Structure 1
Amino acid sequence: LGDVDILGTPARRGQRLRRKKAPAAGLSTLRDLREGDPIIHQDHGIGRYLGLKRLVLGGVDGDYVHLEYAGGDKLYLPVYRLNVLQQYAGPKEAARLDKLGGVRWERAKQRVKDAVLAIAHELLALQAQRALRPGFALPPPDAAYQAFASSFPFEETADQKKAIADVLQDLRRDTPMDRLICGDVGFGKTEVAMRAAFLAVHGGRQVAVLVPTTVLAEQHCNTFAERFAPVGAVVEVLSRFRSAKQTRDILQRLKVGLVDVVVGTHRMLSADVHFKNLGLLVVDEEQRFGVKNKERIKQLRHQVHVLTLSATPIPRTLHMASVGLRDLSLITTPPLERSAIRTEVLRFDEDVMAEAIRRELHRGGQVFVVHNRVQSIGSMVSLVQRLVPEAKVAMAHGQMAAETLENIMVAFVHRETQVLVCTAIIESGIDIPSANTMIVNRADTFGLGQLYQLRGRIGRGNTRAFAYLMLPRSDKLGREASERLGLLKRFSELGAGFQIASHDLEMRGAGDLLGADQSGNIAAVGFELYTELLNEAVERARGQKQTEVVEPDIKIAVAAVLPEHYIPEPMQRLGYYQRMAQAHEDAEVYNIFAELQDLYGQAPPEAKALTEVMVVRLRLKKLGCNALSAAADGTNLRMGLSFVIDAPVDRAHLAALCQQQPKRYRLLPSGKLALTLEGQGSLEELPQLEAIREALGVFRVLGA
């Protein structure tokens, strides 16, 4: 029995089985496609997606992606080749369709290849400089570290453990660490930073924790101070909440090594801040800092270990990580009992607002009402007080006196007030588990990453949280604002920060990379293909041998599909087809098949056949085989295989097989290999596919 049998409707993929994906793979998902959307085919360029079509070719049922190109040309792509498709990054209405067989797409790809080759040489020079920097290794974890780790009051998730292990390994190297921890809000990034900070302090080094807001600096300082108190470490904070006298005292003690951990805003990057022995810089939400501050951070990077924490990394940061300039750890597993935030996008409605606030107060919680205009925030406070007169309402914004703002925030944290009407000052890191409803006024005026960060302030406990993104009553939304809000609603599941950042990257471009503006090149060929071309260019610049990426053409008279009666929703089927086509190992394909059976029940023969075809395709790719045909003649199963010129298949072994078993293996003058499986022609479809898979397993790959 699957979920469909028990619940009557399919469970959403990803809720029951959380399987991690490689960070650089599959940044876009075809499940988000709508009919009529532009789409990029790596070989043929920009076409228009016209849906998933069931066709009968050669008497066999199959699912094909229907693409339309300039001049009305049609292309039907078999689902086992979906890995050659990616979403179009630019504005949809501006997409110019390519012509099948035309030269414009090839010219665009060549132009990008030339551009990225120059960048690749710069990347290598940068990495070489980094490797040559005089660094220092921190001592390995010992009993004191284990005692500190055991004081963490929660069970670490698998992703969290992996991120911690990555960081500990980095810190034991002689070269400075430069790692990005990308994890959803509340998924435990701070604990990873805590472990790194302990090792640094334990090794006699100072730690600087850089955060974007004063409120967050205070909260982080309290968290670090509480955690480090048992080991006697001194934790201080540099922010505008400290008087001039307090600041001078902290700076003096920092300079002589009497402060172990300092948490601060951009104030910490000022010229008068000196460390005796800085060993680790932790940067929380780097995208919130200005250009000058980032330059100062960049200077520090050359000297110390750097750990960057982010839920929605800026596109450039994500881009740098994805091409290997910065090490990347993903935390995508939510803590136990964490629920996804329910997100509603709606026109401004006082009744909905009043009901949402009352419902939260009724269950003993607190509410954020975000109104990002200081000039009119008083009117919003008055409105909330009129709608819900029984509520204790407070107001907070960045233009308040530091002490006043601190008192208001502390009162809210201590639950002395119930509703906080505030600007986006709360968007970074504030941790108030009892606040589980947020109303954002004029949500259309916020950026995608900013909305995501704001929403992350709620739902940090095990209580279901609600976010209401309110729009003007009458104004028509611009296309980009509409797309932003649609993405946020669609990506409401836990752990979606990396997807949000990836979409942000495709919407805005990767920015100025190494002084050469690459957003035009990314728009020309799409982010995923651009990244692939850049990685290839890096390999070329390193002098590594380039192996041709083979996409085999498979002709087997077997129905290999996910039937509509099994998975009725076309976009769900498309999503599974894409995941199977993007798999790199047999085990990945079989895991996806197991997930299908878990969610939808016993798989029909066609779905099992699809799984075998996808595994056969992987084996063909590894052998460098660009075409396979197989047909039964009643008694025998006859196969034909063609290989690319520099295929990694062991040709000497092939020749030996032809000599030893001439009835089974024959090399034809065309270079094609004919293979006869005697007595296998009368088998049912699925056993035939299994026989083909096993036959391919005999061949060897050079160097394997």
Structure 2
Amino acid sequence: TEVAIRAAYKAVCDGKQVAVLVPTTILAQQHYQTFCERMSQTAARIEVMSRFRTPKELKSITQRLKDGKVDILIGTHRILSKDVTFSNLGMLVVDEEQRFGVKHKEKLKQIKRLVDVITLTATPVPRTLHMSLMGSRDMSIINTPPQDRLPIHTEIIAFNEERIADAIQREIARGGQVYFVHNRVQSIHSLAEFLQNLLPSVRFAVAHGQMGSRTLEKIMFDFLERKYDCLITTMIIESGIDIPSVNTVLVNRADRLGLGQLYQIRGRVGRSKERAYAYLLVPKGKQLTRKSRLRLRAIEEFADLGSGFNIAMRDMEIRGAGNLLGSQQHGFIHAVGFDLYCRLLDEAVRELKGEELESLVEPDIQIAATGYIPEDYIPDADLKMNFYQRLADTRRIVDLLAIQEELQDRFGRLPWQARALMNIMEIRILSRQLRLASVQLERSRFRMIFPEELQITPAEIKCMVEKSSVDLEFDVAKGMSIETFLRADDEQERLEKAKTVLQELV
């Protein structure tokens, strides 16, 4: 938020208007107060558009905005309406970017082509993250947490009355407040009744988006003034609500929520020096889906401060990177395959940036050998696929050795099948460096074929002969190929020797 305030002030100083788009009314109100406090000593004119404002007030703001008498406009989707026109929009700030669809974001850019855009989020949607990683957007990561801030203790527990009562009472006993997130408006009041019967001495309040704006505003301000101990609420608290006295959150049916949502809700607590607690409740005795288990495992694993980027990366792995050319914000690009799609996109972006594109020839590896990661070495299929993907993407021997080291560190000594796979991958990288079109290893015969268009000079042939410790046969009839015979007792030794030949020639 501080980054956005400073950027907005810079834009205002340059005579431009700033639009701050936020997903919820409560957050719009909170940002309005923060911006007003930070800019109280300046001449910046700040306004807010939300359902807490009367139609008369909104009409007045719209007119003043058109006349250039409003410098910073903070608002929900209302600022995307057709009747809202800016006289000189210079910057757009999208807070909690993961809550908006592509159409909303593109519509704002249509307002003015030359608008600078800053998106703020702890957990970018896969499409945005992927756009940043491949260079079509710039990305800055704030890794440093505020001073004296502690990581949030996260636990996944089955729905249990005793644990719930204990968590709420413990927080109230140390003078704090509690959020209880239940994302079903239909049953939220019956849950409030259940909790009130469970803990009669605790003051509960219910808040959800279908309430009248005045009622909701009053409940939120009363909770802020500590008239209630526990707020039973839907996902409306997900976006940026900042109440430092709340240091415990319980999330009912956490298995139904997305990874970004879980991280955002957890981020509503622990906003002071106190140790905060997040309890993710799942139904007792119910089998969770594979994706739910992956999400919950990720949120528990990344408990450190500033781990939103890691969460977003894991979310991209689970859900896919979305479609840059369309409006999907997640999902895999089935038509061309995800890996090829990313590679094509990366090449196109680098070409537009004017970077030099190295034309890598992908060699055809024909090796009669068995190389794979055995089932009993890495039982988790997703983890295994992750390692295969990383191995396929390696371009340097040093990266390959780093993966090998990680495998040994996490799963123990490599079995012979995995060692063979590592040797095949190293042969692929070395063949690429030698610009070979094809490599054939069948029994003791090892053949290296160069592309027909590649011109090899006599001096280069002489250099290869001098470097090699084995006899090489050169065939220059059609293109150029090199053949040698490798004496070995088994498949593994043959692979090692083929690798050594290539290492000598590189």
- Bigger shift: residues 486-495 or 362-371: 362-371
Structure 1 pair 300/393, CA: closer, same or farther in 2 (3 Å)?
Answer: same
Give the SS at the match of 2:139: strand
Q: Secondary structure at the match of 2:15?
A: coil
Report what 2:151 is aligned to: 339
Equivalent residues in 2 for 1:45-194 (5 A)? Answer: 190-194=1-5
- Residue 399 of structure 1 deviates from its aligned partner by 2.8
Residue deviations 1:403-449, cap 9 Å, x none?
A: 33233323434555331101121122223454343323344554565
Does the Cα contact within 8 Å between 2:319 and 2:331 map onto a contact in 1? no
**Equivalent residue of 1:329, what SS?**
coil
Q: Give CA deviations for 1:535-589 in whole Å, capped at 9, x if unaligned.
A: 67999999x99754336456899x9999x9xxx7655787556545433344544
- Contact kept, 8 Å, 1:452 with 1:488, in 2: the verdict is no
Question: Residue 168 of structure 1 aligns with which residue?
Answer: none
Name the stretch that deviates more: 602-611 or 312-321: 602-611
- The corresponding residue for 1:307 is 118
Report the TM-score when normalising by structure 1: 0.55
Tell me how many residue pairs correspond in the alignment: 476
CA offsets, 1:442-486, max 9 Å, x none? Answer: 445545654454344345567353232333x68x66xxx723421
AA of the residue aligned to 2:231: L
Work out whether residues 125 and 312 of structure 2, in 8 Å CA contact, stay in contact via their aligned partners in 1: no
1:329 matches 2:139: yes
* Cα separation, 2, equivalents of 1:456 and 1:518: 23
Distance in 1 separating the partners of 2:9 and 2:484: 62
Deviation at 1:210, TM superposition (A): 0.3
TM-score (norm 2): 0.73
Query: Cα offset for 1:213?
Result: 0.3
2:10 aligned with 1:199: yes
Given that 1:561 and 1:609 are in contact with CA atoms closer than 8 Å, whether structure 2 keeps it comes out as no
- Residues 1-44 of structure 1 show CA distances to partners (whole Å, capped at 9, x for unaligned) of xxxxxxxxxxxxxxxxxxxxxxxxxxxxxxxxxxxxxxxxxxxx
Output one character per residue of 1:216-249: Cα deviation in whole Å (capped at 9) or x when no partner.
1122223333444455534332212234454455
SS across alignment from 2:289: helix
Q: Tell me if the contact between 2:24 and 2:76 (Cα under 8 Å) persists in the aligned partners.
A: yes
2:462: which partner in 1?
Answer: 659
CA distance in 2, matches of 1:520, 1:368: 32
* Deviation, structure 1 residue 279: 0.4
Structure 1 stretches lacking a partner, 5+ long: 1-189, 633-637, 678-683, 698-704
- Contact 2:424–2:495 at 8 Å: present in 1 too? no
- Distance across 2 between alignment mates of 1:662 and 1:338: 63
Compare relative contact order (CA 8 Å, sep 6+) and give the higher one, 1 or 2: 1
In the alignment, the residues of structure 2 paired with residue 307 and residue 319 of structure 1 have an alpha-carbon distance, to the nearest angstrom, of 16
Q: 2:280 aligns with which of 446, 449, 468?
A: 468
Does the aligned pair in 2 maintain the 1:427–1:454 contact within 8 Å?
yes
What residue number does 1:627 align with?
Answer: 439
SS of match in other structure, 2:118: strand
* Aligned 1:108-507 pairs, distance under 5 A: 190-229=1-40, 232-244=43-55, 246-286=57-97, 288-289=99-100, 293=104, 296-300=107-111, 302-314=113-125, 317=128, 326-327=136-137, 329=139, 331=141, 333=143, 335=145, 339=151, 342-344=154-156, 346=158, 348-443=159-254, 446=257, 449-459=260-270, 463-471=275-283, 482-492=289-299, 493=302, 494=307, 495-505=310-320
> Do 2:19 and 2:72's aligned partners in 1 also have CA atoms closer than 8 Å?
yes
Change (3 A) 1:694 1:204: farther
Q: Which amino acid aligns with 1:627?
A: V
Aligned-residue Cα RMSD (Å) equals 4.9
SS in structure 2 of the partner of residue 641 of structure 1: strand
SS at match of 1:217: helix
2:333 to 513, 522, 531: 522
Number of the residue aligned with 1:113: none
1:612-646: CA deviations, max 9, x gaps? 875664343243334276999xxxxx975333556
Contact 1:658/1:666, CA 8 A, preserved across alignment:
no
Distance in 2 between residues matched to 1:402 and 1:311, nearest whole Å: 27
Letter of the 1:641 counterpart: M
